[in-house]
Amino acid sequence: MWIADYESKDLNDKKIIFRYNTEYKTSENAAKVIGLIVMMNPGEAKPEDKENFMRLEKDEVKLKKVLIKPDHTMNNLIKLIENAHKQNNISMPKEYILHIENLCNLREPKLKLAEKAVNEIEKSDNYEIKNLLYKSRFLTVADRKNYHFCFFTWGKTGINKKRQEELLLIFPDVFQINKTLNNKGYKVNVKYPVHLGRVNRDFNRDNSIFFEAIAGKIKSYM
């Protein structure tokens, strides 16, 4: 199941919806966090309860730990994690939690509209909304030991370049599905400069491509 916090705010006479503190849990009893995945921004996924989503669209509200109806990218992400473990001959725990972060928390499935909205928020004087846009778990180099793997899946985007650079320094040995910035700020090509869904298509077409990219990226659970 997917859970997260949602919050909606007024900006220039329209509602802006944010999602953060996102997690995937195999069950309510799951307690062990095994991995960190950093994506670009919340896409089409919405609260499972339709009434909650209507409230977000209508009023300024804050919803804590609500169940999410996932989108295709989120479902593909779980397949990717399972394939990665299988190809590394690593058995996954039966119960686990994945931490999900985003470069920004704006709920907008279309990249150009997301970038436009981010620029609009950046130029505004509303510091509360700015803080919500980039609200995230505090991560340091010491957190490397807390995760058995870390995947970057934010694709091709200039959103929150500072965060991109920070994350690459904190987690230098990651599986990257992006065309991203190196630690000097230059764009570099990596193994998978494509959308997350493409990885699953590549795996089904020729799993040796995926195996070579993911080899050694997951720590054993022993």
Q: Which tokens belong to 46?
A: 């919405």
Q: What angle do CA 99, 64, 46 make, to 5 degrees?
A: 75
Number of other residues whose CB lies within 10 A of the CB of residue 207: 13
More confident residue, 158 or 57: 57
Q: What is the C-alpha to C-alpha distance for residues 59 and 142, in angstroms, rounded to an integer? A: 39
Question: Sheet harboring 175-176: ordered strands across?
Answer: 46-47, 62-69, 2-11, 14-25, 97-102, 33-39, 149-153, 175-176
What pTM, to 2 d.p., does this model score?
Answer: 0.86
pLDDT in tens, 14-60: 889 999 999 999 999 999 999 999 988 898 899 999 999 999 999 99
pLDDT at 128 over 70: yes
Give 124's pLDDT tier (boundaries 50, 70, 90): confident
* Cα–Cα dist 222/219, whole Å: 9
For the chain, domain boundaries: 2-214
pLDDT of residue 84: 86
